[in-house]
């Protein structure tokens, strides 16, 4: 079996980063996640990273692969040289995102349907964009690709929040003005930008448009 | 951190969140403690299929009989009745949280909108917008709406008892590397299953390490039918990164699909979609044990015959829309995904039917301790039908949450024993890394207690578990405090060893083949004589106390 050398950029809790080189076997069809698990199992089990499902269901394995935000379980190991934590997100250690801290940005935004909900299990028409957006893995890759998002400035919502707001806006059971919330959270900045990317097929730009109209 | 709650739900999957919301609606002070972020677990990985009651063309009796017969008469009728009676309400409650079940083109839950999942005699299964991912987004939102305390990345390492009652939990905050005790008048265990004990041959989430079985057992609760570990027939065998990942239940075969062994002989031809999971796995296991397998140890699933029939093509498109076999695309490529090429499959560990013994309201025999969701046993008996797990976790999560709130309201606050300080977990010296032993245990379990079991293998397995347990005492954990998963591995290893011992002990006792439990040395069903539940409990001297009871199917 061929070997593959990979650099891992480890975020240190006390601040700063450290680059480390590891050699891992390159099995056929190997993923970056498989490489990380191999390192964890055989070399260094202090390597911190998240995963749960091994393929495309949990959204916990987001990393930056050669600078591109990706799910580690869907990224080919063979063509990846450097793995780093997702940019612009709070990191606990090494590659593990502090998700609790990230979510705390949205406290009080009432991100659930409110109002005179239609009769549950009764008549309901779902727009295809809503169906698409409900598949958002919440991996936060898009957030890492947004130039306007910053850790220290919570006044700007960012693409993940806009997907959430668009889901609710498109939900006939919700009565809150989600467009107004999006506007308050800086949606105007998106108009000339559209730099965010979703590696998982979520129609991010459709979501932004739905909030903008 | 002396702050106490009325109700603490351990586990932030579907059952734990539902229990928390139920208790919060009763006015209880509630927290969810979960070793992952809240809204994950196996619930996140689900295809989002949920069996519902009261749909046109269905009856209460038909649903109840399907579950009991599917479980080969090991299930508890009272639990199954509660399951069926609460199903529609549970589905409606999810929609009130913001979840969407997929309607027909007119916007109704008509027969066009529902499907017939494996083992059911009627179409009663709802599909979810955004599958398990969408479902979990709605569940997270419900937690926020109800002002429930959140302890994420926090692993519960022990249930704390005082005067015979559970009165709190010992927790490890993985994010900060801090141990503490949280007081609770009632604890609801919602820790999910234990498929990860068989990694990589499992469809389950990384966190499904069977912690809840061990926590309950150590606290003195009873466990029922722990030998009943379901393998689902179809998982991919390669690439190694995806080995063991779920790509379908019997329905995937469509009406005309067939299964071939490694010699190219057809072993099942057509109608697989109407067979139970247990029946398909049992047929496949025979070939696998005999070594008539393909290059990666599996059998061949050939779905091409479906393409010649209209109903076959329909089955493909529907299953594709549901997202049941998504992983086939990266694993085997486009042609396989289009069913134009056969591919290799191997059964994979999917669900624990057995678990903590509880009544319809989640009460265990230990005062103050409740259980709900996959960690609870007794509903599915020897085999779980497709789409009933989600029904189970939401129905019983709700009921257990209500009962726990009521119990908390009438029970005086018990102070958990003085704060257990630092246990010396971080920086414990040792020559072996916990994950090494975890991997050794997992390989052992698949070999000795995976598809087919026999007496010799199980006895060997139990001895090997003792050996790994002895080595575990010498395992080390680095001193890093922040998100040090070695610490989690170390604690999980302890749970896995206990749960493994319970599974093997029960498997040794059941000297017949029934449901998911296949014995090479007792290949036949024991018939009515064996319609018995195996009940395990920790004896005073620390050994496993076993007894059998006639099942209440
Ligand atoms: C791939 C896949 C597809 C499936 N599809 C379907 C389907 O379509 N329909 C269906 O009905 N069923 C399906 N199932 C089964 C179903 O998803 C599960 O049985 C169900 O979701 C279990 O829910 P739960 O709340 O009991 O446990 P989980 O959702 O697994 O949640 C358990 C939680 O407890 C936490 N936890 C565990 N131990 C500890 C501890 N010691 N301390 C703190 N927290 C802890 C975990 O982190 C996790 O968050 C599927 C399962 C899989 C794996
Ligand atoms: S929109 Fe895409 S990139 Fe962003 S969180 Fe959702 S799945 Fe991840
Ligand atoms: S459009 Fe630009 S500013 Fe707006 S969310 Fe996307 S990347 Fe960020
Ligand atoms: S491990 Fe779950 S999405 Fe990658």
Ligand 2 pocket, A142 CB below 6 A?
yes
Ligand 1 pocket, B438 CB below 6 A?
no
A45:B36 CB<8 A: no
Sheet with A3-11: strands ordered across: A17-25, A3-11, A82-84, A62-65, A68-71
Residue nearest to atom 3 of ligand 3 (CA): A190
Q: Is the peptide bond before B200 cis (omega within 30 degrees of 0)?
A: yes
B239:A29 CB<8 A: yes
In A, which residues are within 8 Å of B175 by CB distance? 92, 98, 100
pLDDT tens-digit profile of A27-38?
999 999 999 999
Q: How far is B242 from chain A (nearest CA, A)?
A: 7
Domains along chain A?
A: 2-97 (3.10.20.30), 100-212 (1.10.1060.10)
Q: Which residue of chain A is at minimal alpha-carbon distance from B436?
A: A41
Domain boundary among B314, B346, B378: B346
Residue nearest to atom 4 of ligand 2 (CA): A142
- Rounded distance between C-alpha atoms, residue B313 and residue B317, angstroms: 6
Buried b (16+ CB within 10 A) or exposed e, A176-212: bebbebbeebbbeebeeeeebbbbbebbbebbbebbe
Q: Which residue of chain A is at minimal alpha-carbon distance from B244?
A: A54
In B, which residues are within 8 Å of A199 by CB distance? none
Q: In the A/B pair of chains, how many CB contacts fall below 8 A?
A: 167
- B312 within some domain: yes
CA B449, B451, B455, B457 torsion: positive or negative?
negative
Q: How far is B453 from chain A (nearest CA, A)?
A: 27
- Rounded distance between C-alpha atoms, residue A94 and residue B154, angstroms: 19
Q: How far is A56 from chain B (nearest CA, A)?
A: 8
Nearest alpha-carbon partner for B90 in B536, B400, B544, B429: B400
For residue B414, the model assigns a pLDDT of: 66
For residue B420, the model assigns a pLDDT of: 61
- B379 within some domain: no
For residue B1, the model assigns a pLDDT of: 41
Residue B174, classed as helix, strand or coil, is coil
- Rounded distance between C-alpha atoms, residue A64 and residue A57, angstroms: 18
- Rounded distance between C-alpha atoms, residue B349 and residue B347, angstroms: 7
- Rounded distance between C-alpha atoms, residue B379 and residue B64, angstroms: 11
Q: Token match 């009764």: residue?
A: A122
CA B292, B293, B298, B301 torsion: positive or negative?
negative
Ligand 1 pocket, B34 CB below 6 A?
yes
B440 and B340, same domain (yes or no):
no
Q: Token match 């005699």: residue?
A: B121
Q: Which residue of chain A is at minimal alpha-carbon distance from B202?
A: A53
Positions of E strands within B364-461: 369-371
Nearest alpha-carbon partner for B217 in B9, B41, B356: B356
B95:A100 CB<8 A: no
- B500 within some domain: yes
- Rounded distance between C-alpha atoms, residue A7 and residue A15, angstroms: 19
Domain boundary among B323, B346, B369: B346
For residue A151, the model assigns a pLDDT of: 92
Phi (first) and psi of residue B151, to 5 degrees: -125, 90
Measure B44 CA to ligand 1 centroid, in angstroms: 7
The pair of three-digit structure tokens given for residue B216, joined into one six-digit string = 């309950």
B240:A136 CB<8 A: no
B137:A99 CB<8 A: no
Measure A55 CA to ligand 2 centroid, in angstroms: 15
Ligand 1 pocket, B14 CB below 6 A?
yes
Q: How far is A174 from chain B (nearest CA, A)?
A: 9
Consecutive 10-residue averages of pLDDT for chain B (553 residues): 83 98 97 97 97 96 98 98 98 95 95 90 96 96 95 97 94 95 96 98 98 98 98 97 96 96 97 92 96 97 98 94 93 98 98 98 98 98 97 98 97 66 88 97 98 98 98 97 98 98 98 98 97 97 96 96
Q: Which residue of chain B is at minimal alpha-carbon distance from A106?
A: B144
Cβ neighbours for B206, distance < 8 A, ≥ 6 positions apart: A51, A52, A53, B196
B341 and B445, same domain (yes or no):
no
Q: Which residues line ligand 4 (CB under 6 A)?
A: A 33, 51-54, 56-61, 71-73
- B120 within some domain: no
Residue nearest to atom 6 of ligand 3 (CA): A196
CA angle, residues B135, B392, B79, in degrees to nearest 5 = 165
Ligand 1 pocket, B374 CB below 6 A?
yes
Nearest alpha-carbon partner for B519 in B468, B463, B450: B450
Q: Which residue of chain B is at minimal alpha-carbon distance from A32?
A: B241
B88:A121 CB<8 A: yes
In A, which residues are within 8 Å of B391 by CB distance? none
Residue B245, classed as helix, strand or coil, is coil
For residue A117, the model assigns a pLDDT of: 63
Measure B247 CA to ligand 1 centroid, in angstroms: 17
Q: How many independent structural domains does chain B possess?
A: 2
- B529 within some domain: no
* Residue of A80, A93, A120, A170 to mutate when probing chain B, most B C-beta within 10 A: A120
- Rounded distance between C-alpha atoms, residue B229 and residue B448, angstroms: 13
Ligand 1 pocket, B298 CB below 6 A?
no
- Rounded distance between C-alpha atoms, residue B443 and residue B468, angstroms: 12
B482:A29 CB<8 A: no
B107:A124 CB<8 A: yes
B330:A173 CB<8 A: no
Which alpha helices (H) appear in B262-338, and where do they start and end?
277-289, 310-322, 328-332, 334-337
Nearest alpha-carbon partner for A134 in A90, A176, A100, A168: A168
For residue B322, the model assigns a pLDDT of: 86
B107:A125 CB<8 A: yes
- The pLDDT confidence band at residue A116, using thresholds 50, 70 and 90, is low
- B282 within some domain: yes
The pair of three-digit structure tokens given for residue B103, joined into one six-digit string = 């309607």
- B318 within some domain: yes
**Contact predicate B174/B154, CB 8 Å:** yes
Q: Which residue of chain A is at minimal alpha-carbon distance from B53?
A: A121
The CATH number for B242's domain is 3.90.700
pLDDT tens-digit profile of A35-71?
999 999 999 999 999 999 999 999 999 999 999 999 9
Q: Hey, what's the torsion of the CAs at B506, B366, B438, B331, to 10 degrees?
A: 80
Measure B237 CA to ligand 4 centroid, in angstroms: 18
In B, which residues are within 8 Å of A174 by CB distance? 98
B483:A93 CB<8 A: yes
A124:B100 CB<8 A: yes
Measure A201 CA to ligand 2 centroid, in angstroms: 8
Q: Which ligand is nearest to the CA of A167?
A: 2
Measure A136 CA to ligand 2 centroid, in angstroms: 5
Ligand 1 pocket, B251 CB below 6 A?
no
Average pLDDT, integer, range A4-17: 97
Structural domain containing residue B486: 434-523
Cβ neighbours for B378, distance < 8 A, ≥ 6 positions apart: B75, B76, B79, B224, B225, B355, B357, B358, B533
- The atom of ligand 1 lying closest to the CA of B397 is 25
- The pLDDT confidence band at residue A193, using thresholds 50, 70 and 90, is very high
In B, which residues are within 8 Å of A11 by CB distance? none
- B300 within some domain: yes
Q: Which residue of chain B is at minimal alpha-carbon distance from A44?
A: B433
Domain boundary among B313, B346, B379: B346
- Rounded distance between C-alpha atoms, residue B501 and residue A145, angstroms: 47
- Rounded distance between C-alpha atoms, residue A208 and residue A159, angstroms: 8
Q: How far is B164 from chain A (nearest CA, A)?
A: 35
């Amino acid at each position: 079996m061929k070997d593959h050398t990979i650099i891992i950029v480890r975020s240190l809790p006390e601040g700063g980063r450290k680059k480390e080189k590891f050699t891992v076997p390159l099995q056929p069809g190997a993923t970056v996640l498989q490489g990380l698990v191999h390192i964890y199992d055989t070399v260094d089990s202090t390597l911190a990273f998240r995963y749960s499902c091994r393929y495309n269901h949990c959204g916990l394995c987001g990393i930056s692969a050669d600078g591109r935000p990706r799910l580690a379980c869907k990224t080919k190991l063979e063509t990846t040289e450097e793995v780093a934590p997702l940019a612009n997100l709070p990191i606990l250690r090494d590659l593990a995102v502090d998700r609790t801290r990230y979510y705390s940005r949205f406290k009080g935004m009432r991100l659930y349907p409110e109002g005179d909900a239609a009769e549950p299990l009764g008549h309901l028409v779902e727009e295809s964009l809503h169906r698409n957006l409900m598949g958002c893995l919440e991996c936060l890759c898009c957030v890492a690709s947004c130039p306007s998002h910053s850790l220290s400035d919570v006044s700007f919502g960012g693409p993940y929040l806009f997907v959430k707001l668009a889901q609710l806006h498109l939900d006939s059971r919700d009565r809150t003005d989600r467009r107004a919330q999006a506007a308050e959270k800086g949606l105007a900045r998106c108009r000339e930008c559209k730099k965010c990317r979703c590696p998982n097929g979520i129609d991010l730009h459709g979501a932004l448009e739905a909030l903008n109209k | 951190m002396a702050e106490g709650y009325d109700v603490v739900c351990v586990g932030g999957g579907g059952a734990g969140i539902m229990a928390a919301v139920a208790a919060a609606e009763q006015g209880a002070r509630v927290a969810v403690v979960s070793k992952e972020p809240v809204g994950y677990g196996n619930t996140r990985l689900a295809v989002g299929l949920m069996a519902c009651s009261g749909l046109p063309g269905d009856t209460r009796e038909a649903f109840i009989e399907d579950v009991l017969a599917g479980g080969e008469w090991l299930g508890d009728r009272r639990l199954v009745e509660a399951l069926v009676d609460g199903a529609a309400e549970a589905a409606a409650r999810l929609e009130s949280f913001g979840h969407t079940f997929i309607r027909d083109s007119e916007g109704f839950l008509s027969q066009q909108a529902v499907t017939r999942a494996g083992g059911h005699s009627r179409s009663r299964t709802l599909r979810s917008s955004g599958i398990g991912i969408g479902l979990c987004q709605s569940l997270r939102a419900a937690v926020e709406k109800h002002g429930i305390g959140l302890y994420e990345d926090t692993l519960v390492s022990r249930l704390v008892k005082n005067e015979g009652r559970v009165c709190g939990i010992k927790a490890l905050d993985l994010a900060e590397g801090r141990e503490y005790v949280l007081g609770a008048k009632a604890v609801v265990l919602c820790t999910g299953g234990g498929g990860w004990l068989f990694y990589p041959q499992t469809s389950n989430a990384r966190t499904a390490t069977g912690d809840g079985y061990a926590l309950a057992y150590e606290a003195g609760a009873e466990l029922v039918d722990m030998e009943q570990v379901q393998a689902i027939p179809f998982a991919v065998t390669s690439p190694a990164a995806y080995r063991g990942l779920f790509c379908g239940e019997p329905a995937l075969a469509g009406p005309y699909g067939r299964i071939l062994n490694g010699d190219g002989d057809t072993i099942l031809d057509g109608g697989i979609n109407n067979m139970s999971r247990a029946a398909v796995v049992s047929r496949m296991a025979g070939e696998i044990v005999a070594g008539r397998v393909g290059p990666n140890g599996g059998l061949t699933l050939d779905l091409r015959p479906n393409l010649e029939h209209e109903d076959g093509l329909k089955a493909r498109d529907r299953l594709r829309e549901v997202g049941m076999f998504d992983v086939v695309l990266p694993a085997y490529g486009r042609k396989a995904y289009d069913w134009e090429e056969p591919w290799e499959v191997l059964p994979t560990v999917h669900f624990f039917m057995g678990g903590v013994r509880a009544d319809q309201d989640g009460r265990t025999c230990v005062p103050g301790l409740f259980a709900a969701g996959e960690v609870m046993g007794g509903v599915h008996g020897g085999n779980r039908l497709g789409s009933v797990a989600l029904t189970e976790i939401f129905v019983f999560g709700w009921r257990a949450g209500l009962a726990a709130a009521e119990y908390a309201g009438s029970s005086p606050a018990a102070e958990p024993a003085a704060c257990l300080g630092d246990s010396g977990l971080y920086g414990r010296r040792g020559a072996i890394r916990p994950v090494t032993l975890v991997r050794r245990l997992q390989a052992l379990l698949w070999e000795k207690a995976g598809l087919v079991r026999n007496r010799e293998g199980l006895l060997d397995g139990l001895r090997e578990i003792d050996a790994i347990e002895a080595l575990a005492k010498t395992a080390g954990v680095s001193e890093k405090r922040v998100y040090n998963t070695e610490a989690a591995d170390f604690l999980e290893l302890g749970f896995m060893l206990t749960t493994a011992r319970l599974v093997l002990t029960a498997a040794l006792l059941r000297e017949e083949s029934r449901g998911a439990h296949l014995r090479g040395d007792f290949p036949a069903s024991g018939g009515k004589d064996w319609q018995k539940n195996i009940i395990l409990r920790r004896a005073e001297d620390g050994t496993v106390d076993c007894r059998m009871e006639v099942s209440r199917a």
